[in-house]
Structure 1
Amino acid sequence: MTTKLGTKLRNMRKIRDLTAEELSKLSGVSRSYILLIETGKREEVSNKVLSKLAKALRVDVNYFKIDDASLPTEVLPDMPPEIMDMILSADSMPYLKLTQKAKESGISPETLNKVIDILIDGLKK
């Protein structure tokens, strides 16, 4: 029987497009242990292991610790995977803040796109 932790781990691994073997290499947690967690055969998992898995999957460790914690992928399941990956990426915060600032300033997506195109063209010269 799969646990909430197991389901969360498997879902996040799939979102990151990783096999259990790849996650094992990234996290330092054995493939067999990852599969035991995912299938619910191992319910008690140490904070150290959870931290390693969270770091490898680029999520906050509390996502695994809090039963009702959810990710944008669960709240917004129809979002394109490349956008979701960008949102979940640790280095995306400055870009997300710029997008928020543009929206709050009333700048339309079309105008923002034109400004970015102008900047890109200027950088090419």
Structure 2
Amino acid sequence: MEFHGERLRAVRESMNLSMTQTEKLTGVKQSTISELENGIIKFPRETTVAKLCQGLKIKDKNFFYLDDVVLPVEILPSDTPDDILKFIMSGENLPWIVLSKKIKDSGLPPEDLEQIIAILARNKK
């Protein structure tokens, strides 16, 4: 399977990272990042993909290879605030995103959730 460099570019840009910043974050050379994004390198080393995933907090290397993957930034409105985009694109926040979906699916209204959070916060103090 070929590496989808446009996904790397989309993730990098959604995190407001330059190629230089991405190099510092991942340990992958800027020139390699450019070649990946521009389709010059179609079959990168596994260690390169692992470094990208680790540095960009992407949980599954297949993200760069599968055809039917959609980035959140591709389906969110163009006026989505940067802090929301950064939250969504951070792999560290995945448990919170999953939890929010479970809450929504449960039918619990946001007002009730806010009350529960307030009660728990008071009890924690």
- Which TM bucket (shorter chain)? 0.7 to 0.9
Q: In the superposition, relative to structure 1, how do residues 105 and 44 fare at CA in structure 2: closer, same or farther (>3 Å)?
A: closer
Matches of 1:35 and 1:94 in 2, distance apart? Answer: 31
Q: In the superposition, relative to structure 1, how do residues 70 and 119 fare at CA in structure 2: closer, same or farther (>3 Å)?
A: same
Q: In the superposition, relative to structure 1, how do residues 69 and 106 fare at CA in structure 2: closer, same or farther (>3 Å)?
A: closer
Please show how residues 89-100 of structure 1 align to structure 2 within 5 Å: 89-100=90-101
The residue aligned with 2:120 is: 119
Kept in 2: contact 1:4–1:67 (CA 8 A): no
Please give the secondary structure, in 2, of the residue aligned with 1:18: coil
Q: In the superposition, relative to structure 1, how do residues 105 and 41 fare at CA in structure 2: closer, same or farther (>3 Å)?
A: closer
Q: Given the two structures, how large is their TM-score scaled by the length of structure 2?
A: 0.75
Among all aligned residue pairs of Structure 1 and Structure 2, give the percentage whose two residues are the same amino acid: 34
Unmatched tracts of structure 2, length 5 or more: none
What letter corresponds to residue 15 of structure 2 in structure 1? Answer: R
The residue aligned with 1:20 is: 19
The residue aligned with 1:63 is: 63
What letter corresponds to residue 112 of structure 2 in structure 1? Answer: T
Unmatched tracts of structure 1, length 5 or more: none
Kept in 1: contact 2:11–2:89 (CA 8 A): no
Matches of 1:86 and 1:47 in 2, distance apart? Answer: 27
Matches of 2:95 and 2:33 in 1, distance apart? Answer: 33
What letter corresponds to residue 64 of structure 1 in structure 2? Answer: F
Kept in 2: contact 1:29–1:52 (CA 8 A): yes
Q: In the superposition, relative to structure 1, how do residues 33 and 103 fare at CA in structure 2: closer, same or farther (>3 Å)?
A: closer
Please show how residues 1-125 of structure 1 align to structure 2 within 5 Å: 5-59=4-58, 60-74=60-74, 76-78=75-77, 79-123=80-124, 125=125
Q: In the superposition, relative to structure 1, how do residues 105 and 64 fare at CA in structure 2: closer, same or farther (>3 Å)?
A: closer
